[in-house]
C-alpha cells in the first residue's frame, strides 16, 4: 500500500511539474479517465529537441476520438493544468485538418502565458466542418529553450449560431419523387427550370465552400522553434516570443522579438530570418555597386524585345484556340490578358498561369463549361461546372435551354 501511495504521489508530482492542456483533453492525456488506449504519464514534458515527436508529441495519427464539438463563429474556453509556468512566455492555439501537416493559428497569447490557467478563444467562422486537432503550444520565458505542445481531437460542425448543420442538401429537402407510372409526356412537359435552379443552388454552395476554405487557408501558420524544424528557429532566454505572424486574435503583449532563425519558414512571413536579412544586405550592396552602370545604360530595347513584349500583353487566336482544344471545345472570345501560349499538355491553371487574378475570383474557360478559382493570386483548376450551368463573366449562371 505504501509503495502504491508513493507511486501515485510521484505521478501527481510529474503531472503538475510543468503545464498541460486539460480542457479539452489532449491525445493520451493522463487526466482523461475515460480515454481509451495508452496514456502518457510524462505529458508535461516538452517536445524532443530533435523534433522526433513533433507535432503533437507524436500522437497526431492516433485513432480519432473527439473530446469536444465546436461551431464556427462561437467562443469556448481552453484550460491548463500545472504549476511550473517558467515566468510565463507566449502560447498559440491552432487547428489542423490533416493530422498535423499544417496548422492554422486561431489565437495568440503573448507575454504571460500560461500563468492564467483559462483562455477564451473563438473558432473562425470560416473553419471547415470535420474532424480536426486543436493544438496548444507554449514557449517558456525562463529555463531551457523548449517547445511544449498538446493536441486534442475535436469536431468542427454546426453554424455560427451553434446549431448543428443538416447533412441533407437544402435543394433535396422538399423534393418529392414522381408518382409511379407517370407518363413520359407529363415528365417532358415540365421545363428543366427546376433542375437548373437545383444545380445553380448546388453550384453556389460549392463556390461558397471554396471561398470559405480559401479564407481559412489564409490564416497564419503555427510558429515552431527549438525542435529542429523549418526555419531552424530558437527562442531567446528571458524574452517572451513575439510571434511574427500572430493572426487577428491576440491577447497580451511581448516586448522585443524573443527568437532567432537561420532559415526560412511559412510562419516567419517575409524577410524575418537571419539568412534573409543577409541576402537583402548583399542585394543592397550589389544594387549600390551597379548604380552608375544602370544610370549609363539607356539603350533602347531591340525590335525582337519589343515584339516579345507586345505578344506578352495580348491574347492571340492561336493561343486561345489551344486553350479551347485543351477542353475539347471551339475557341471563343475572352478579354482576359494571356502572357504565354497555352500548352495543351498542362492543367487549366497552367494555361492561365499568366493571368492576373484576385483571391476568390472565378475564372471561366472559353466555352463556359470548366472553371478555375483564384487563390493567393494564382488560378486553381476546379473542373467542370455543374450540369445545367455555365460559367460566364466570373459567375455561374443557368444555361439557356
Task: Tell me the pLDDT tens digit for each residue of 290-348.
Answer: 555 444 444 455 544 444 444 433 334 443 344 344 444 444 333 333 333 333 334 44
| Phi, psi of 148, rounded to the nearest 5 degrees | -100, 140
Q: How much is the average pLDDT of 207-236?
A: 89
Q: How confident is the model at residue 57, as a pLDDT? A: 97
State the pLDDT at residue 177. Answer: 45
pLDDT, greater one: 39 or 193: 39
Query: Which of 261, 258, 266 has its CA nearest to residue 232?
Result: 261
User: What is the pLDDT averaged over residues 81-108?
Assistant: 95
Would you place residue 121 in the very low, low, confident or very high pLDDT band (cuts 50, 70, 90)? very high
What the chain holds in terms of domains, given with CATH numbers, is 11-161+247-252 (2.70.50.70), 305-398 (no CATH)
Give me the sheet containing 19-23, strands edge to edge. 19-23, 75-82, 118-122
Strand partners, 233: 261
Q: In this predicted structure, what is the pLDDT of residue 376? A: 77
Mean pLDDT score, 139-145: 94
CB atoms under 10 Å from CB of 317, counted, come to 9
Q: Whose grid coordinates read 479517465?
A: 33
Average model confidence (pLDDT) across the chain:
75
The three-class DSSP label of residue 120 is strand
Would you state the pLDDT for residue 285? 53
Predicted TM-score (pTM) of this structure = 0.60
> Would you state the cell numbers that stand for residue 197, as one nine-digit string?
435552379
Give the pLDDT score at 272. 65
Residue with cell 439557356: 400
Using CA atoms, how far residue 388 sits from 87, 98, 274, 391, 393, in Å, is: 62, 34, 55, 11, 17
More confident residue, 284 or 355: 355
Name the helix (H) or strand (E) containing 210. helix 193-217
Q: Contact at 8 Å (CB) between 149 and 135?
A: yes
* CA-based R_g, the chain, Å: 28
Residue recorded with cell 453556389 = 204
CA distance 108 to 253: 10
> At residue 36, does pLDDT exceed 90?
no
Q: What is the pLDDT of residue 257?
A: 96
3-state secondary structure of 207: helix
Amino acid at each position: 500500500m505504501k509503495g502504491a501511495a508513493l507511486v501515485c504521489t510521484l505521478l501527481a508530482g510529474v503531472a503538475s511539474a510543468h503545464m498541460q492542456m486539460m480542457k479539452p483533453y489532449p491525445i493520451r492525456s493522463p487526466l482523461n479517465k475515460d480515454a481509451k488506449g495508452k496514456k502518457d504519464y510524462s505529458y508535461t514534458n516538452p517536445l524532443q529537441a530533435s523534433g522526433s515527436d513533433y507535432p503533437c508529441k507524436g500522437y497526431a495519427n492516433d485513432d480519432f476520438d473527439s473530446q469536444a464539438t465546436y461551431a464556427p463563429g462561437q467562443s469556448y474556453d481552453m484550460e491548463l493544468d500545472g504549476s511550473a509556468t517558467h515566468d510565463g512566455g507566449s502560447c498559440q492555439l491552432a487547428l489542423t485538418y490533416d493530422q498535423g501537416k499544417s496548422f492554422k493559428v486561431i489565437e495568440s497569447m503573448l507575454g504571460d502565458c500560461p500563468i492564467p490557467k483559462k483562455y477564451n478563444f473563438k473558432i473562425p467562422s470560416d473553419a471547415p466542418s470535420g474532424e480536426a486537432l486543436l493544438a496548444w503550444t507554449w514557449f517558456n520565458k525562463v529555463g531551457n529553450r523548449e517547445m511544449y505542445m498538446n493536441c486534442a481531437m475535436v469536431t468542427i460542425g454546426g453554424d455560427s449560431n451553434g446549431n448543428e448543420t443538416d447533412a441533407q442538401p437544402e435543394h433535396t429537402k422538399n423534393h418529392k419523387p414522381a408518382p409511379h407510372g407517370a407518363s413520359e409526356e407529363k415528365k417532358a412537359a415540365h421545363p428543366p427550370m427546376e433542375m437548373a435552379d437545383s444545380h445553380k443552388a448546388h453550384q453556389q454552395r460549392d463556390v461558397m465552400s471554396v471561398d470559405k476554405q480559401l479564407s481559412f487557408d489564409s490564416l497564419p501558420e503555427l510558429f515552431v522553434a527549438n525542435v529542429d524544424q523549418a526555419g531552424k528557429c530558437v527562442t531567446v532566454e528571458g524574452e517572451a516570443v513575439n510571434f511574427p505572424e500572430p493572426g487577428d486574435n491576440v491577447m497580451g503583449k511581448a516586448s522585443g522579438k524573443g527568437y532567432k532563425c537561420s532559415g526560412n519558414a511559412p510562419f516567419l512571413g517575409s524577410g524575418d530570418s537571419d539568412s534573409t536579412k543577409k541576402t537583402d544586405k548583399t542585394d543592397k550592396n550589389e544594387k549600390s555597386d551597379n548604380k552608375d552602370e544602370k544610370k549609363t545604360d539607356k539603350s533602347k530595347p531591340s525590335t525582337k524585345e519589343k515584339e516579345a513584349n507586345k505578344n506578352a500583353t495580348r491574347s492571340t487566336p492561336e493561343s486561345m484556340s489551344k486553350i479551347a482544344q485543351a477542353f475539347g471545345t471551339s475557341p471563343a472570345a475572352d478579354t482576359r490578358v494571356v502572357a504565354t501560349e497555352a500548352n495543351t499538355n498542362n492543367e487549366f491553371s497552367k494555361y492561365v498561369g499568366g493571368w492576373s487574378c484576385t483571391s476568390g475570383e472565378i475564372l471561366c474557360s472559353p466555352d463556359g463549361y470548366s472553371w478555375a478559382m483564384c487563390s493567393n493570386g494564382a488560378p486553381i483548376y476546379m473542373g467542370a461546372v455543374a450540369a445545367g450551368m455555365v460559367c460566364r463573366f466570373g459567375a455561374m449562371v443557368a444555361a439557356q435551354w
